[in-house]
């Protein structure tokens, strides 16, 4: 007779598993799968290995920097499990080759992703292919694992997901009150204007008056201007002239602290500003140029004063033009770009000084600029172990044993890990329940392009949308279009909704589809004349979808927060199946009453276990809605 233990191992040995993501969670997950008896694993990851990954992604070494994460992770695990099959793909999971048919070949999909967009894409493919999905994420000491099975549990998009917080443009450009406002200004406006796409408009004031003559764009370098002069002129414009211009609006400052314009002559003596740093002495052997190294500032955790930040600003700007001139015009801020971080930190600190906001070290500023909550390898290890536990339950086919597990930073009633029974599908979810959405929009002034970019692609996460009004196809995206079709759709993009071939008016119903995701939804249109620019900046309002919950932190250097973050996660074994123990149910708020991530009024139920080794994770905020547990 076959023992029960042997029988339970068979689904694991026979399973074909897809892993998406080979970062912190992914490295630990791949290792744990291999050591748990899984024999056929497929791994997708687009990224290459960076030095900053090495402190928590333990399958990688210094010699692997610059190589594919997926391929290196595969090779590392095969060294100690040579008899299993691991197929690696250095590719984007959103590529056309990873379609619904590709997903159908797997028994379960395990996510270790670091961004919301890719998570939503995988969720939709799993729904279309009817393949169970195990999601995960960590932020510092916090983490979660959730199970999503079509028709049995809610899908990944049934509830709102935290996203990095956005700020009104007027706050960023005119009235910052927090250091993060200065970081956003330095990163998204100033850095982008100086080093990014010159043709891209942003809200940075580019006009000034010099000696009574108007200069059309202050950021354009004059042909007879050396780098020192250019750098000082930029400094005086953004930190001096712009703030003086803002002070002219007396109404703005009636109930606010007035900022102090800062000019280079105020921050530095003339001699210091002209003999700033030693960029011309930078060694060619240096891996990457650094303003701080050039200036002899070695401690990233030290808070520099206004003078030092001014020197770093000037030096970093000059280094970009001296050492990386070919990149200028195409640069996008990257938290792993040391010179970019130095420039943004210095600019943010100078602006903060002007507005009376406390200055920050480059270490702190990097965390804010990259939306970083620094990764904890142990959390990643715990999460990976939990993923494997849930994957085994899925393969055994007993959905009543599934658990969403939340990992806490501090014990609450002796628990660091809390298993929660999965919730039923949200009947109003437009992804898995096909509930119509409502879009309030001015149909007389809003162009089709705006609806596609701001709503269909940005909010609904469709990659290659098709838009129909009744039986009329007004837009289709993707390859294979005839030339005349593509030209016609391009013309439609620039038309306002009411002037499309099938006019969009109050009461019109749009049908939107994405064939790659095999997703379709309906949008009912409600005409509305006016919108609040501050609270409704898109000029339209979408109802009936799970609007993201704004949060600041993001995990492991990536742009996600607790519910959806896992850029670098690690996993460890030694976890037992917590669902097999006697359970005692109690309200989640009683266990997490001290945790800011949960609302004390939550009615969600938690499975309570007496064993301190039990594990729990958090993805959604239970206070977002009252959800039904699976019965």
User: Which residues are catalytically annotated?
Assistant: 170
Per DSSP, helices labelled H in 80-115 are 100-104
Q: What is the DSSP letter of 456?
A: I
Burial of 16 (0-12, 13-18, 19+ CB in 10 A): middle
What are the two backbone dihedrals, phi and then psi, of residue 90, each rounded to the nearest 5 degrees? -85, 85
CA neighbor of 93 nearest in space, from 134, 66, 59, 121: 121
Structure token pair of residue 109: 């999909």
Handedness of CA 92, 96, 102, 104 (dihedral sign): positive
Contact 133, 109 (CB under 8 A): yes
Contact 65, 38 (CB under 8 A): no
Number of other CB atoms surrounding residue 410 within 10 Å:
8
CA distance 344 to 188: 9
Place of tokens 């330095």: 186
Structure token pair of residue 287: 């891996």
Contacts of the segment 73-82: beta carbons below 8 A, 24+ positions apart: 73/22, 73/26, 73/27, 73/30, 73/43, 73/45, 74/30, 74/43, 77/30, 77/31, 77/34, 80/34, 81/34, 81/35
Contact 175, 256 (CB under 8 A): yes
Burial of 496 (0-12, 13-18, 19+ CB in 10 A): middle
CA distance 149 to 402: 10
Burial of 57 (0-12, 13-18, 19+ CB in 10 A): buried
Q: How far is CA 216 from CA 198, 205, 583, in A?
A: 14, 11, 70
Structure token pair of residue 567: 């850029």
Number of other CB atoms surrounding residue 129 within 10 Å:
19
CA distance 225 to 112: 50
Contact 465, 514 (CB under 8 A): yes
SS3 track for 181-225: HHHHHHHHHHHHHHHCCCCCCCCCCCCEEECCEEECCCCCCCCCC
CA distance 237 to 215: 12
């Amino acid at each position: 007779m076959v023992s029960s233990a042997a029988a339970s191992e068979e689904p694991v040995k026979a399973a074909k598993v897809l892993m998406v993501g080979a970062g912190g969670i992914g490295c630990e997950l791949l290792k744990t799968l291999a050591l748990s008896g899984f024999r056929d694993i497929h791994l997708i990851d687009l990224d290459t290995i960076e030095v900053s990954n090495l402190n928590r992604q333990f399958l990688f070494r210094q010699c692997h920097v610059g190589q594919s994460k997926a391929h290196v992770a595969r090779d590392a695990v095969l060294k100690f499990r040579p008899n299993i099959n691991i197929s690696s793909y250095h590719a984007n999971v959103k590529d056309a080759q990873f379609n619904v048919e590709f997903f159908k070949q797997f028994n379960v999909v395990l996510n270790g992703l670091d961004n919301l967009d890719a998570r939503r894409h995988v969720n939709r493919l799993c729904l279309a292919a009817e393949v169970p999905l195990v999601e995960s994420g960590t932020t510092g000491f916090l983490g979660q694992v959730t199970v999503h099975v079509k028709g049995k549990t809610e899908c990944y998009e049934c509830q709102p997901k935290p996203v990095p917080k956005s700020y009104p443009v007027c706050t960023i450009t005119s009235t910052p009150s927090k250091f993060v406002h200065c970081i956003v200004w330095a990163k998204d406006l100033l850095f982008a204007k100086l080093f990014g796409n010159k043709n891209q408009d942003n809200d940075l004031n580019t006009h000034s008056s010099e000696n009574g003559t108007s200069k059309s764009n202050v950021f354009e370098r004059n042909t007879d201007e050396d780098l020192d002069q250019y750098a000082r002129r930029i400094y005086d414009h953004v930190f001096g002239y712009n703030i003086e211009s803002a002070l002219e609006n007396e109404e703005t400052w009636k109930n606010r602290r007035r900022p102090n314009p800062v000019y280079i002559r105020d921050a530095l003596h003339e001699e210091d500003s002209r003999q700033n740093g030693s960029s011309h002495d930078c060694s060619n052997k240096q891996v990457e140029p650094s303003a701080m190294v050039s200036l002899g500032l070695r401690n990233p955790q030290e808070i520099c004063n206004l003078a030092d930040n001014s020197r770093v600003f000037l030096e970093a700007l000059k280094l970009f033009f001296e050492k990386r001139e070919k990149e200028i015009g195409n640069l996008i801020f990257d938290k792993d770009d040391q010179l970019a971080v130095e420039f943004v930190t210095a600019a943010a600190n100078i602006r903060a000084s002007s507005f009376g906001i406390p200055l920050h070290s480059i270490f702190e500023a990097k965390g804010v600029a990259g939306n970083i909550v620094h990764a904890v390898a142990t959390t990643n290890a715990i999460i990976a172990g939990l993923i494997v536990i849930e994957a085994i339950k899925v393969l055994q086919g007993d959905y009543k044993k599934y658990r969403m597990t939340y990992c806490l930073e501090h014990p609450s009633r002796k628990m660091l890990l809390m298993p929660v029974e999965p919730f039923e599908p949200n009947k109003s979810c437009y992804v898995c329940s096909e509930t119509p959405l409502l879009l309030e929009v001015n149909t007389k002034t809003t162009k089709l392009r705006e609806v596609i970019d701001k709503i269909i692609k940005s909010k609904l996460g469709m990659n290659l949308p098709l838009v129909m009004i009744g039986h009329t196809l007004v837009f289709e995206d993707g390859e294979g279009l005839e030339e005349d079709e593509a030209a016609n759709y391009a013309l439609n993009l620039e038309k306002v909704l009411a002037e499309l071939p099938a006019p969009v008016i109050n009461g019109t119903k749009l049908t939107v589809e994405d064939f790659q995701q095999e997703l379709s939804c309906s949008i009912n249109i409600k005409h509305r004349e006016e919108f609040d620019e501050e609270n409704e900046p898109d000029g339209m309002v979408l109802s009936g979808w799970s609007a993201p919950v704004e949060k600041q932190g993001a995990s492991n250097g990536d742009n996600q927060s607790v519910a959806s973050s896992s850029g670098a996660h690690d996993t460890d074994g030694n976890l037992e199946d917590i669902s097999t123990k006697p359970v005692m149910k109690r309200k989640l708020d009683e266990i997490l009453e001290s945790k800011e991530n949960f609302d004390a009024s939550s009615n969600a139920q938690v499975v309570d276990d007496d064993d301190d080794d039990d594990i729990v994770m958090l993805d959604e905020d239970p206070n977002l809605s009252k959800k039904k547990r699976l019965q």
